[in-house]
Structure 1
């Protein structure tokens, strides 16, 4: 069963709470829905419950949170074709070069400076269960109130990394690019770190991580990728890769978040 057909089939079943199919974009309506969204606010266990319901239908659950203006991610969707041949290594290298050029003396990027260090290797040691890690982060985001008025949604995608591009999430547009190249990196993070897309706000992305870095060396390499992916996490946060790695990645932090504004 295709994702869109699975979405329509599930939307009318007793397996889902009351909700609605979303087929509107900033350019108008579409013939197939982009997602289904629940009418009522999400509970802490809804993400995990929806994962078990949706996987056989080729769908992926995601929590949608509002911003301070009351806007939700599904209010501004702009789907676009995913270009062929886009890979994480080349994408991150290109972004690193662009962002590093805006760091005059390279101090914040030590020990790498303007030189892209390449993809971080998967961390050593035991790897946690990605599904359990995702459920834990989803539960925390809802129960802590981190997400404003969250709603559980289902998207026609077989993996979380493809969700932003599948719905045309516009949260990355402040970077000058749509979600497709970011999806290439998310797929790589799924494979290397057991990362999963758990929640979207209008300009914030939340990931769970089953195999986060455990050592300072591992964390620094991952911090470089995070800076290339979203320089705001360093520039608006700790101010350097080393401090970001220490404060936001260690010890074994299982929740990564990124924002574009």
Structure 2
């Protein structure tokens, strides 16, 4: 069923993605970041969320309701226990001199990763600090606008701007069926929780990437450590492993960061 569009849109068309009907912009306007923020502001009323994606996707839509059954704290606790058992030998012992000697002269050995500073699941990270200080990303809409502007200034291709009917921004990835590799119900559950705690919004999913804007990032190391563990358990390949990044370094980089990127191979 074709929905009613917000006023002021550039030319576009309706397309079907699985059971969903979405609107696709014919060509990105110069002020697409401003438009994105405004469309996101209206989304609570229109039920249409702006989203950047491939022009010609090969998607497999999933029901966002599959995330409803996920008890996130319990699932991540079990996942961390399994992950820790697998990785503990690597965290406990730095790379041997023999391994370093085997590397070509022009290749640096991977840095040692001591892993997360937890023996058991520490629980979800606390919510980010309230907005209102005038700093970066004081509202989800402003954080999303800045993220979109940054993405479009660095990407080697031009994504499509779409409007996707969904209950919330976190559900858009499932609705359009982004096929980037992660378990979509778990990713959706995480994105919903990050929306609530950090004012996070998915702004785009294409190729193997998911890009998320963040209005209320953690500002202290203890919170960042717990959030970094959630990122790690998302199954994304770029968290810690690609490129190899020690967990403490990744966690410290989340302090005050208003853009998150997740990548699956």
Q: CA RMSD in A?
A: 2.4
The reply on whether 1:88 has 2:72 as its aligned counterpart is yes
The reply on whether 1:199 has 2:204 as its aligned counterpart is yes
Counterpart CA distance in 1 for 2:15 and 2:74 is: 34
The reply on whether 1:223 has 2:228 as its aligned counterpart is yes
Counterpart CA distance in 1 for 2:85 and 2:147 is: 34
Partner of 1:137: 147
| TM-score, normalised with respect to structure 2 | 0.78
Counterpart CA distance in 1 for 2:167 and 2:209 is: 21
Quote the offset at 1:229 in angstroms. Answer: 0.9
The reply on whether 1:240 has 2:246 as its aligned counterpart is yes
| TM-score, normalised with respect to structure 1 | 0.79
In structure 2, list runs of 5 or more residues that go unmatched.
Answer: 92-112, 133-137
1:106/1:188 CA distance change after superposition, 3 Å: farther
After TM superposition, list the pairs within 5 Å mapping 1:54-69 onto structure 2.
54-64=43-53
SS where residue 89 of structure 2 aligns?
coil
Counterpart CA distance in 1 for 2:156 and 2:76 is: 28
The reply on whether 1:182 has 2:182 as its aligned counterpart is no
User: Does structure 1 retain, via aligned residues, the 8 Å contact 2:214–2:259?
Assistant: yes
Counterpart CA distance in 1 for 2:78 and 2:206 is: 26
Quote the offset at 1:147 in angstroms. Answer: 6.1
The reply on whether 1:159 has 2:183 as its aligned counterpart is no
Partner of 2:37: 48
SS where residue 155 of structure 1 aligns?
strand
Counterpart CA distance in 2 for 1:156 and 1:198 is: 14
The reply on whether 1:209 has 2:210 as its aligned counterpart is no
In structure 1, list runs of 5 or more residues that go unmatched.
Answer: 65-71
1:215/1:14 CA distance change after superposition, 3 Å: closer
SS where residue 44 of structure 1 aligns?
helix
Q: Which has the larger radius of gyration?
A: 2
SS where residue 154 of structure 1 aligns?
strand
User: Does structure 1 retain, via aligned residues, the 8 Å contact 2:33–2:146?
Assistant: no
SS where residue 189 of structure 1 aligns?
helix
Partner of 2:262: 258
Counterpart CA distance in 1 for 2:130 and 2:16 is: 44
SS where residue 211 of structure 1 aligns?
coil
1:76 pairs with 52, 58, 70, which one?
58
